[in-house]
Amino acid sequence: MSQPVRKLHFVTVTALDDSSAEDAFLADAQRYRRELLAHCYRMTGSLHDAEDLVQETYLRAWKSFKGFQGKSSVRTWLYRIATNTCLTALDGNKRRALPSGLGQPASDPAGELFVRPEVTWLEPLPDAPREDPSDPSVIAESRESVRLAFIAALQHLPPRQRAVLVLREVLQWKAAEVGEAVGTSTAAVNSLLQRARAQLDEISPSRDDEPVPPESPEAAELLDKYIAAFEDYDMDRLVELFTDDAVWEMPPFDGWYQGPANIVTLSKVQCPAEKAGDMRFLRTTANGQPVAALYMRNPETGVHEAFQLHVLDAGKAGITHVVAFKENDLFARFGLPDTL
């Protein structure tokens, strides 16, 4: 998004209007902030844009509060506003992508790396604390609905198809409700959904190996071995961790690499580390997947500095996909330190 959206804070807004009705609305609306963030993230593929769009959603909701007649729940009303806010923002904008989605063949792991500044890259979404599994926001933000592969596939759909699929498949809205939200007929909603499903099936075929939850013993063991191989600078040990068709990519570089041997070659040739101890990691989660946050030692200062966020797609057969994100403020957005 080219223009920053003005921030809206609930304390400020309630000070402007002491109406008990508005106070009650704002108090009720605030609890949906996290699930609206996940909704806007599904629509845009960007944490930055999603945060701005949620702020814009609340601003629009506050301005039009007097027109809210209570025919639907506050949550449904907010989702309608958020969806249309996203559709407006996406109008004419380039879709966000991962390198493997640019339509080019797998790259040579020993070849030159190329940055593509004209590409708007997909971003990861930090996981929210899951204290209460009965909370609607936890249900709405199910792991499958924010996994990187699903988010990347969604970005191939036209915005209106994307909105219809998310509202129908993720939020389980009725077709009539979706039609009212996006301003079209029930028949048009069903047609859009059918086309969206067909395109998703073509873009992202179902995988044989089901992903394992990031807190599972299987995921923890894979992550431990993955981190140990890098920290010990024993790249050859990585071979046993990846499935035969595993993919590695690292935006903003446009290349993607397939197969354990190519991934290991890439790690040996392109990684700036030279010996054991050059890399250290912190563990976290994003998009319902395990994450290894890499800190690379600065040879001049000896300090380990934030370098990449490795989002792993792990199944029982091994690691199937790694996206190594490199962005200046990404660690801060994940609540991670700049240095170790």
Residues 300-310 have a mean pLDDT of 97
Comparing CA positions, the residue from 122, 177, 167, 113 lying closest to residue 145 is: 167
Does residue 16 register a pLDDT over 90?
Answer: no
Question: How many alpha carbons fall within 13 Å on the CB side of residue 140?
Answer: 23
Kindly give, in sequence order, each residue whose CB lies less than 8 Å from that of residue 141, ignoring residues fewer than 6 positions away.
Answer: 34, 35, 38, 128
List beta partners, residue 310: 292, 324
pLDDT band at 130 (very low <50, low <70, confident <90, very high): low
pTM exceeding the 0.75 threshold for the entire prediction? yes
Give dist(CA 29, CA 278) in Å, integer. Answer: 46
Question: What is the pLDDT of the chain when averaged over all its residues?
Answer: 88
Give the total residue count for the chain.
Answer: 340
Does residue 110 register a pLDDT over 90?
Answer: yes
Inter-residue contact 269 to 110 (CB < 8 Å): yes
- Look at residue 10 in the predicted model and tell me its pLDDT: 41
pLDDT in tens, 153-169: 999 999 999 999 999 99
Comparing CA positions, the residue from 244, 261, 242, 216 lying closest to residue 310 is: 242
The CATH label, of 3.40.50.2300, 3.40.640.10, 3.10.450.50, 3.40.50.1100, for the domain at 217-333 is 3.10.450.50
Q: Measuring CA to CA, how many Å separate 69 from each of 63, 72, 149, 151? A: 14, 8, 39, 34
pLDDT band at 337 (very low <50, low <70, confident <90, very high): very high
- Look at residue 248 in the predicted model and tell me its pLDDT: 98
pLDDT in tens, 227-254: 999 999 999 999 999 999 999 999 999 9
Burial tier of 210 (Cβ tally within 10 Å: 0-12, 13-18, 19+): exposed
Helices vs. strands in the chain: H and E counts, helices first: 14, 6
Give dist(CA 286, CA 148) in Å, integer. Answer: 9
pLDDT band at 3 (very low <50, low <70, confident <90, very high): very low
Residues 8-27 have a mean pLDDT of 55
Residues 207-219 have a mean pLDDT of 84
- Look at residue 220 in the predicted model and tell me its pLDDT: 94
Give dist(CA 38, CA 142) in Å, integer. Answer: 10
* pLDDT-above-90 percentage for the chain: 72
- Pairing mode of beta strands 318-325, 304-315: antiparallel
* In the chain, domain spans: 217-333
pLDDT in tens, 56-74: 999 998 888 766 666 668 8
Buried b (16+ CB within 10 A) or exposed e, 295-334: bbbeeeeeebebbbbbbbbbbeebbbbbbbbebeebbebb
pLDDT band at 208 (very low <50, low <70, confident <90, very high): low
How does DSSP classify residue 337? -
Inter-residue contact 3 to 11 (CB < 8 Å): no
Q: Measuring CA to CA, how many Å separate 299 from each of 42, 302, 329? A: 39, 5, 22
- Among 132-146, 197-211, 250-264, which stretch is predicted with the lowest mean pLDDT? 132-146
Show the tokens assigned to 339: 């240095």
Burial tier of 276 (Cβ tally within 10 Å: 0-12, 13-18, 19+): exposed
- Look at residue 14 in the predicted model and tell me its pLDDT: 41
Inter-residue contact 267 to 259 (CB < 8 Å): no
